[in-house]
Amino acid sequence: MAQLFASETYRFNAAAAKVYSILADYRNQHPHILPRNYFTGLTVLEGGRGAGTRFQATMRVLGKETDFRMLVTEPQPGRMLAETDMDNDLITTFTVRPKGENRTEVEIATRWTRKQGLAGLMERLFVPSLLRRIYRQELRQLEEYATGLRPVAPTQTDNRQLVVG
């Protein structure tokens, strides 16, 4: 099975620890950086900060809404968050790299297995460029939120807790 990959990297003036804290806080801060024209909801199912967080995100692309159930891990605490889709092999990572005092580089990268046949061909041709466009917008919103350039309205959130028996 062929793997597909999409990523974007962006540098801006903000402390790496602050940026990582925003990314890791799925209840209160992360929803502020999600592009509202693509992400229509984020529901924290368990946890809410960093490793162990489980959430559901709803994306709307080309008029179709899709739900993703994700589990967050921290392969490199303080530097890298990974969101693993609980229904397939898709993994999105957020890597935060300090680049001097009060300067940070952030990379969002996603890897997944391509579908078979014509659907797989269409996916290979269109999805990576679409994801890069979404990530560019998300990284700009992260910069705006982290630096206070302008308040960013959060994507609709539902902070209900899922009780796991």
Q: Within a domain: residue 21?
A: yes
pLDDT value at position 119?
A: 56
| Chain segment 88-114, per-residue pLDDT in tens | 999 999 999 999 889 999 999 999 775
Lowest mean pLDDT among 42-46, 55-59, 91-95, 161-165: 161-165
Report how far residue 134's alpha carbon sits from residue 116's, in angstroms, rounded to the nearest whole number: 24
Q: What is the 3-state secondary structure (H, E, C) of 79-132?
A: CEEEEEECCCCCEEEEEEEECCCCCEEEEEEEEEECCCHHHHHHHHHHHHHHHH
Taking the CA atoms of residue 133, residue 78, residue 152 and residue 104 in that order, the dihedral angle to the nearest 10 degrees is -70
Q: Within a domain: residue 85?
A: yes
pTM, whole model, 2 decimals?
Answer: 0.85
Is 42 or 154 the better-scoring residue by pLDDT? 42
Q: Within a domain: residue 164?
A: no
Q: What CATH number should be reported for the domain holding residue 101?
A: 3.30.530.20
Q: Within a domain: residue 163?
A: no
Mean pLDDT of 60-70: 87
pLDDT value at position 130?
A: 87
R_g of the chain computed on alpha carbons: 16
* Cβ proximity of 127 and 3 under 8 Å: no
pLDDT band (50, 70, 90) for residue 73: very high
- Structural domain boundaries, residue 64: 3-148
Q: Within a domain: residue 110?
A: yes
pLDDT band (50, 70, 90) for residue 47: very high
| Chain segment 123-147, per-residue pLDDT in tens | 665 778 888 999 999 999 999 999 9
